[in-house]
Structure 1
Amino acid sequence: MSEWADPEPYAALRRLAGEVADVVGVGKVEVAGGTVVVSLPPVKRHEVAVWRLWRQLDAQVGASHPGCIAYSGASVEDPDLGRLRRPDLMVFPAVCLEDEGTPLRPADVLLAVEIVSWANPRGDYGEKVADYAAMGIPHYVIVDPRGGTGVVHATPGYRHRTPFVFGDTVRVGPWKLDTSVLLTYGPPRATCGGSAS
């Protein structure tokens, strides 16, 4: 069970998170477990996964949920739980972006996607599963480029879990994701100029 946050310490943590987020070169800044969590900037293959999944989802969500978009770069906040999370990718109504400076409400988020990082893989499989389930986000997808695997979680309470391996086409609610386009972490195949490194 997620704990309920004391509003005063959480407000202080939110202020600190905002200050840290303004520092150049910082990756994700989140609030969870009574602390500010800072992640390193992502590696290229992490960002390739975000971009390739975004393209697939964005091509589908307009038909299944008119007015919704797939988007990378927004945060979702539940002050009652004391949580501020920034998934790698989310699906939500486009109009939510018009509230400048305000994180999304969990009730607006249909899907959260996290690409597992080298730095903190446990967070995606443990704390974030609990947090997104407690927030009531209907679907949560973990994509793990370390071994080319992943898990689709679905409500209620993420009791329904569907594991997959890269190459599978997986169903996430009304959408399908072709994971054959995803890359595992490892040495790069070639530089941007085309020569092997």
Structure 2
Amino acid sequence: MYRSSAGIAGGVLLLALVGWLGIDAIVAGEGRTPWLALATMILLVPLIVALTLRPAVYAGQERLRVRNPFRVIVLPWGQIATLRSGYSNEVLTVAGAKFQLWSIPVSLRARKRANRRESRAAAGQDGRGGRAAGLGAFGGGLGRGGAASADGSARAAADRAMADLRELWEVREKEESAQGEVSVRWAWEILGPAAAGAVVLAILLAAG
């Protein structure tokens, strides 16, 4: 399972803030204030959960299950055309549909930082390799230790996750058990409460 730790942490903080302000308004508010606070909480809590805590990607032997904020997409490995990374991580189906992987967000800063580490590691390896060649006649070999930091382990976490998914897809896409149809389901457990909160809030505001 792949989830965003930053998203989860942000979601918990936002829920705590909304809960604190909302409960305070319900308990201490006067007139319509408690009802407005309650309707706002009913609207905001599902949206915060959807955008922060809910996103996840489950990679099984037969299919990839993508739980995005408002949809759940089940993709058999045989129906996936490619998994690509750019400014966002996406999965493309053989039918041409595209789905974003919300739980594996791209951090350009982390990617640049990882690229710099990898470049420094490669430069260090080249330098040690040259010295080792010069000392070889005297038994001064550095062995294989210089190659350990340039094996791709310095990649950003999102890029490592996508590499793992691509590897599993390449292994499983031809298997008979990994065939089937792509299914997409709307997350009514999120949309329903949010819509109810929005309707109640609109009525309260319209009533003045």
TM-score (norm 1): 0.21
Higher strand share: 1
Q: Which has the higher contact order (CA 8 A, sep 6+)?
A: 2
Higher helix share: 2
